[in-house]
Structure 1
């Protein structure tokens, strides 16, 4: 039934496999992310409710419905202290629990790859058994991400401001080019290192950066392209749903719950896609490694 997971796949096949697998095992995959990540969003909603945010509709100021709706969009950028605290708290906890959910999805897809069914509770329990390995690898990866994006951005901003003062046009052009260069460089390296999690889950080893680098060999831009496609699809879906419900509900708790459910859905699809890419890379590199061993053996015989 899941034989396709045991052969190399092209760009489109990976996307198709991700959506097909999500459709086939939707209830189980969604339950995994709901159990692990859902409580964080529930906590966020409770904080908003306790700090006075209306549950059904939080209307922004305005003389009529249209003005209230437009002001609601503006209010999403001007958050209250309660919203900021809730978002910060959820963000910090998400840093811990999202990799756990991804590990559980990896374990579930592995069982499907091996033609076995998976139990939601079993894969969640197995993922939490590797909690410290996953957390350690995630901390190292996030530190690298921070260093590769935040520090260059500060340096480029300082240089750009100085350049703009001297020559506005050249300064802006130079700043854009530098930002693009840093962005593409960071995207390349972070893509090459993004499968560190598989090493923690299946090989009990961290940080797993070298292993991830090896897995993505010859496929880095393909993987990056798949990430971009997922991002654009999810961005379009999120913007459409958020626009509709903020017009109906304003910045209410119910609006927050709906948006978070959509986020859980898109997160689930991405996690399944990530797992499919990971096993696809393992199949490809496993074949390449075997080919290299055969070539080395044949070369050694020729030299003799």
Structure 2
């Protein structure tokens, strides 16, 4: 089948394209998520939830008023977490790292291959996508570990600098928590709350913009490792995203808002009906496997859009360079031609 030309897309067109791709090839993407994330999510539920205290079908709230029953169901969501330290440690040091280092890159790589076929109007083959992603298994794992270590370092460094600035601020102003809470001082708890809230919001904003800037610029390492088969992909991602940060940032802000709104809304409905039951947890696992492919499709489309923009820019620069060289040669030859 003939390929359609790839052209740059705006934010709206990109999101619309992601919905269309997912709708047309829903089965392949959903099975991909079930294969890679389904087992890890179920294992997470088994390790983190005390199944002996959770009903199978529906939480019993008989005899309670409506709002009391709703409160009981949502409070139960916190109470069902297991107190078994061994299981918590097993999840933190085995299941969670394997999910991030194995399931995460394989899902994104497989989704990227499926999306490439869909965008080029070729046959979308789940088996071929799984095989292609597994063929780059260790490079994807290695580059993901490098990205994770960089993420930890950047976030830790920013947090350290922020705390240092806060410490210097308390020294310069001569204030402390005890000063704010001291009833006999010029400060009061209300002022302390305002200052604390302002500092917390400033920290969150800085966390999104400063570490977020680097993490977003590095985040397209995975398809580069998948397709170009060379290096870790971090520095290539940095060059690929040059001049496109704010557009990518806007896309993922919209994506996060839509995902959290849709996912949170469905979770509220499920918990309000079934409460903290085994069935509700299984439904939430299936919901995650339904939503993750869409986010992976957006990620893949953003990468292909960046490639189109980068290739177009490189082509334009090459043409301009050739034009400048031709002009220089013409200027150098002109005096000789006039002399003859």
Question: Which of 111, 127, 152 is the equivalent residue of 1:105?
Answer: 111
* 1: CA distance, partners of 2:38 / 2:15: 25
* 1: CA distance, partners of 2:257 / 2:314: 34
Structure 1 residue 61: Cα displacement = 11
Computing the radius of gyration over CA atoms, which structure comes out larger, 1 or 2? 2
Aligned residue for 2:54, secondary structure, equals coil
Structure 1 residue 273: Cα displacement = 0.9
Q: TM-score, normalised by structure 2?
A: 0.79
* 1: CA distance, partners of 2:73 / 2:165: 37
* 1: CA distance, partners of 2:89 / 2:55: 17
Which blocks of at least 5 consecutive residues in structure 1 are unaligned? none
Superposition CA RMSD, Å? 2.8
Question: Alpha carbons of 1:301 and 1:31: their partners in 2 closer, same or farther (altered >3 Å)?
Answer: same
Tell me whether 1:275 sits opposite 2:280 in the alignment. no
Q: Which moved more, 1:62-71 or 1:201-210?
A: 62-71
Question: Which of 85, 94, 100 is the equivalent residue of 2:99?
Answer: 94
Question: Which of 218, 225, 232 is the equivalent residue of 2:243?
Answer: 218
Structure 1 residue 150: Cα displacement = 3.5
Contact 1:61 1:71 in 2 (8 A): no
Question: Alpha carbons of 1:14 and 1:5: their partners in 2 closer, same or farther (altered >3 Å)?
Answer: farther
Tell me whether 1:246 sits opposite 2:251 in the alignment. no
Residue 234 of structure 2 is matched in structure 1 by 209
Contact 1:156 1:179 in 2 (8 A): no
Q: TM-score, normalised by structure 1?
A: 0.88
Structure 1 residue 179: Cα displacement = 4.1
Deviations 1:75-125 (A, max 9, x none): 434532358568645433320212101101111122223331022122112
Residue 25 of structure 1 is matched in structure 2 by 25
Contact 1:45 1:253 in 2 (8 A): no
Residue 127 of structure 1 is matched in structure 2 by 133
Tell me whether 1:229 sits opposite 2:290 in the alignment. no
Aligned residue for 1:243, secondary structure, equals helix
Structure 1 residue 4: Cα displacement = 6.4
Aligned residue for 2:37, secondary structure, equals helix
Which blocks of at least 5 consecutive residues in structure 2 are unaligned? 171-175, 181-191, 330-340
Aligned length: 304
* 1: CA distance, partners of 2:207 / 2:7: 35
Aligned residue for 1:115, secondary structure, equals coil
Structure 1 residue 296: Cα displacement = 1.5
Q: What does 1:1-304 align with in structure 2 at a 5 Å threshold?
A: 6-47=6-47, 48=49, 51-59=52-60, 63=64, 66-78=67-79, 79-81=81-83, 84=88, 88=92, 90-95=95-100, 96-157=102-163, 160=166, 163=170, 165=177, 168=192, 173-174=198-199, 176-304=201-329
* 2: CA distance, partners of 1:276 / 1:107: 11
Aligned residue for 1:134, secondary structure, equals helix
Q: Which moved more, 1:75-84 or 1:218-227?
A: 75-84
Contact 2:77 2:275 in 1 (8 A): no
Structure 1 residue 206: Cα displacement = 3.3
